[in-house]
């Protein structure tokens, strides 16, 4: 049932079925050392150079929990409005992990560190409160590299290599409660949740949250049920979705695919699925095992974790301004509506505008340039605003040149183009392209006189009292000066000449 021709068109699927989504997000913590040993967590080291008897699972080695990782997890839990356990244990999750030499993973099972919180997420002009089931701490696995094949996947590979540098890096898993009732906005809600979570984690300073480096990975659960049904459908779990856009596409594809399965009178299989970036589809992975298949039991090599209440309160008191609070403050300071603020956020413009304001521009001007000319440029070139070759300081300078009357808005767009094209700072572009407004009255007056001389018909109309006709002469002056004249001053001079 995964033939693309058999998908049900999205709107049609939504007219008959209600989606329920859930997200499990893994975050590699940015601690200096691993979860249960002293090996460094640095990304990109020589393979198997950051390993020791503990993370290689050698006989006789014993793990010791990383205090910083526990503190980071509590920070995340508090920021997500969770309760923090007074006492909890790590659990051993037994499974065959080719890239985990112990062949078990130390995780948390029925006693997670943080439980029962929420995160508010803005979509489509309204707010969805996403429930947080749990936040728990575990260790990452190593990484298998499949060599000799075309795709880098195990299928078709000649041999595999294992790099254990990642094995034992502290990993936090944030699991949502099922999110129902978002209807057609389900894909957008999933993306908005991961975006909000990413921004939250970044503000907490607990992870570099780079999806492209795998430090933030998302498993996307989707189920569909007929609109009148009282029970939810069977869910699939699409693993390791590695970009915000892919999160949205994976949900959308699963809705279209599962609708086709249900329409055909078949059952959706409970299974893990793989997402394919190239065509936005998912394909079946393994059938999903149940929790009891992992034979969890309390980890005997580690003492329980019992975070002192005073310590938890100290951590709570040290939380920074969180993204939602910051947005609310900036929205008030900048005088924007909820929708306008959401647009800035979705465009990835919040920090850029903030930095442009900090560099001296007004909020209105900063927003005008980033959401106008620069957003158009980003769209046209298929890049993110933040990736454009222009800094907030340069945008602030363009804004101040307009304010000083050196250039007008129209010329400012040319200045921005010049900066983006690598022609240098705004002042350099103004000088090199000769974009400064003609402030020399003599030069302006000759353009005015030329325009009057060239159009006696219009001049006659103006002298008859039809002053609206002056626009044609102003236009001629603007054309003659390449748009660099002060239009208001030109109008004044023309009317003076003809009075």
Q: What does residue 19 show for φ and ψ, rounded to 5 degrees?
A: -85, 145
Q: Which is nearer to Zn ion, 18 or 139 (CB)?
A: 139
Shortest separation between residue 36's beta carbon and Zn ion, angstroms: 8
CA-to-CA distance for 116 and 84, rounded, in angstroms?
Answer: 9
Backbone angles phi, psi at 228, to 5 degrees: -85, -5
The count of residues interacting with Zn ion (CB under 5 A) is 5
Question: Which residues have a Cβ under 8 Å from the Cβ of 218 and sit 6 or more positions away?
Answer: 23, 24, 25, 26, 194, 240, 241, 242, 247
Closer of 58 and 325 to Zn ion (Cβ)? 58
The token pair at 253 is 């594809």
* Residue 207, C-beta contacts closer than 8 angstroms, at least 6 positions apart: 27, 28, 29, 30, 72, 172, 201, 215, 216
Binding Zn ion (rule: CB under 5 A), the pick from 45, 52, 162, 330 is 52
**Helix, strand, coil share of the chain (percent; to 5):** 45, 20, 35
User: Least CB distance from residue 37 to Zn ion, whole Å?
Assistant: 3
Q: Report yes or no: 275 and 282 within 8 Å, Cβ to Cβ.
A: yes
User: Backbone phi, then psi, for 152, in 5-degree steps?
Assistant: 80, 0
Interaction mask 260-279, Zn ion, x per CB under 5 A: --------------------
CB 50, min distance to Zn ion, A: 7
Q: Which is nearer to Zn ion, 164 or 275 (CB)?
A: 164
Sites for Zn ion among residues 401-420 (CB under 5 A): none
Q: Which stretch binds Zn ion (CB under 5 A): 53-61, 103-111, 195-203, 231-239?
A: 53-61
CB-nearer residue toward Zn ion: 34 or 377: 34
| Nearer of residues 57 and 483 to Zn ion, judged by Cβ | 57
237 vs 23: CA distance, rounded Å: 9
Q: How far is the CB of 61 from Zn ion (least distance, A)?
A: 9
Nearest distance from C-beta of residue 208 to Zn ion, angstroms: 20
Cα gap 344→442, rounded to integer Å: 44
| 59 or 456: CB nearest Zn ion | 59
Instruction: Return the residue of 35, 55, 172, 201 that touches Zn ion, per CB under 5 A.
Output: 55
Single out the residue of 41, 61, 71, 53 nearest to residue 302, CA to CA. Answer: 61
Output the smallest distance, CB 26 to Zn ion, in A: 20
Nearer to Zn ion, 54 or 430 (CB): 54
**Based on C-alpha coordinates, what's the Rg of the chain?**
30
Determine the Cα–Cα distance for residues 108 and 137; give it in Å rounded to an integer. 6
Least distance CB 214 / Zn ion (angstroms): 19
Strands 159-163 and 143-147: antiparallel
- For the bound state, the minimum distance from the C-beta of residue 100 to Zn ion, rounded and expressed in Å, comes to 13
What distance in Å separates the CA atoms of residue 170 and residue 36, rounded to the nearest whole number?
Answer: 8
User: Is 169 an interacting residue with respect to Zn ion (CB under 5 A)?
Assistant: no
Nearer of residues 54 and 209 to Zn ion, judged by Cβ: 54
DSSP for 400-453, written as a single string: HHHHTTSS-HHHHHHHHHHHHTT--SHHHHHHHHT-S-B--HHHHHHHHHHHHH
Of 48-56, 98-106, 193-201, 221-229, the window that binds Zn ion (rule: CB under 5 A) is 48-56
Which of 55, 251 has the CB closer to Zn ion? 55
Site string for Zn ion, 4-43 (x = CB under 5 A): ---------------------------------x-x----
Q: Whole-number minimum distance, CB 39 to Zn ion, in Å?
A: 3
Q: Identify which range of 52-60, 131-139, 341-349, 373-381 contacts Zn ion by CB under 5 A.
A: 52-60
Residues that bind Zn ion (CB under 5 A): 37, 39, 52, 54-55
């Amino acid at each position: 049932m995964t033939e693309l021709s058999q998908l049900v068109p999205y709107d049609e699927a939504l007219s008959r079925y209600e989606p329920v989504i859930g997200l499990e997000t893994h975050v590699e913590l940015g601690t200096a050392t691993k979860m249960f040993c002293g090996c460094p967590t640095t990304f990109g080291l020589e393979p198997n150079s950051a390993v020791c008897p503990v993370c290689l699972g050698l006989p006789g080695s014993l793990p010791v929990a990383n205090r910083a990782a526990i503190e980071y997890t509590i920070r995340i839990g508090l920021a997500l409005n969770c309760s923090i356990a007074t006492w909890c244990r790590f659990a051993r999750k037994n499974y065959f992990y080719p890239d985990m030499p112990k062949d078990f993973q130390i995780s948390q099972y029925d006693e997670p560190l943080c439980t029962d919180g929420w995160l508010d997420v803005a979509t489509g002009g309204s707010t969805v409160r996403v429930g947080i089931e749990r936040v728990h701490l575990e260790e990452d696995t190593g990484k298998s590299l499949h060599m000799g094949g075309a795709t880098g996947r195990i299928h078709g590979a000649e041999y595999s290599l294992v790099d254990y540098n990642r094995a034992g890096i502290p990993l936090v898993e944030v699991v949502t409660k099922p999110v129902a009732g978002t209807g057609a906005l389900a894909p957008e809600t999933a993306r908005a949740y991961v975006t909000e979570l990413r921004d939250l984690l970044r503000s907490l300073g607990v992870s570099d949250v780079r999806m492209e480096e795998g430090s933030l990975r998302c498993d996307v659960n989707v189920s569909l049920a007929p609109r009148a049904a009282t029970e939810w459908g069977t869910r699939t779990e699409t693993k390791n979705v590695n970009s915000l856009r892919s999160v949205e596409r994976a949900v959308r594809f699963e809705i279209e695919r599962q609708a086709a399965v249900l329409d055909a009178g078949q059952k959706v299989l409970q299974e893990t699925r793989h997402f394919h970036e190239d065509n936005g589809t998912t394909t079946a992975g393994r059938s999903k095992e149940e929790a009891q298949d992992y034979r969890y039991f309390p980890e005997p090599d580690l003492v329980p974790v019992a975070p002192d209440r005073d310590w938890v309160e100290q951590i709570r008191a040290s939380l920074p301004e969180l993204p939602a609070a910051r947005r609310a403050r900036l929205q008030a300071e900048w005088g924007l509506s909820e929708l306008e603020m959401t647009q800035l956020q979705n465009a990835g413009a919040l920090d850029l505008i903030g930095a442009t304001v900090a560099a001296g521009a007004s909020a209105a001007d900063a927003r005008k340039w980033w959401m106008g000319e620069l957003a158009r440029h980003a769209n046209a070139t298929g890049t993110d605003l933040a990736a454009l070759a222009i800094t907030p300081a340069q945008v602030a300078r363009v804004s101040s040149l307009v304010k000083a009357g050196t250039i007008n808005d129209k010329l400012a767009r040319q200045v921005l183009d010049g900066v983006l094209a690598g022609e240098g700072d705004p002042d350099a572009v103004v000088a090199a392209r000769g974009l400064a407004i003609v402030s020399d009255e003599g030069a302006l007056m000759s353009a005015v006189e030329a325009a009057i001389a060239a159009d006696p018909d219009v001049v006659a109309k103006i002298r008859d009292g039809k002053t609206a006709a002056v626009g044609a002469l102003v236009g001629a002056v603007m054309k003659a000066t390449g748009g660099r004249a002060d239009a208001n001053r030109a109008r004044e001079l023309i009317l003076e000449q003809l009075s």
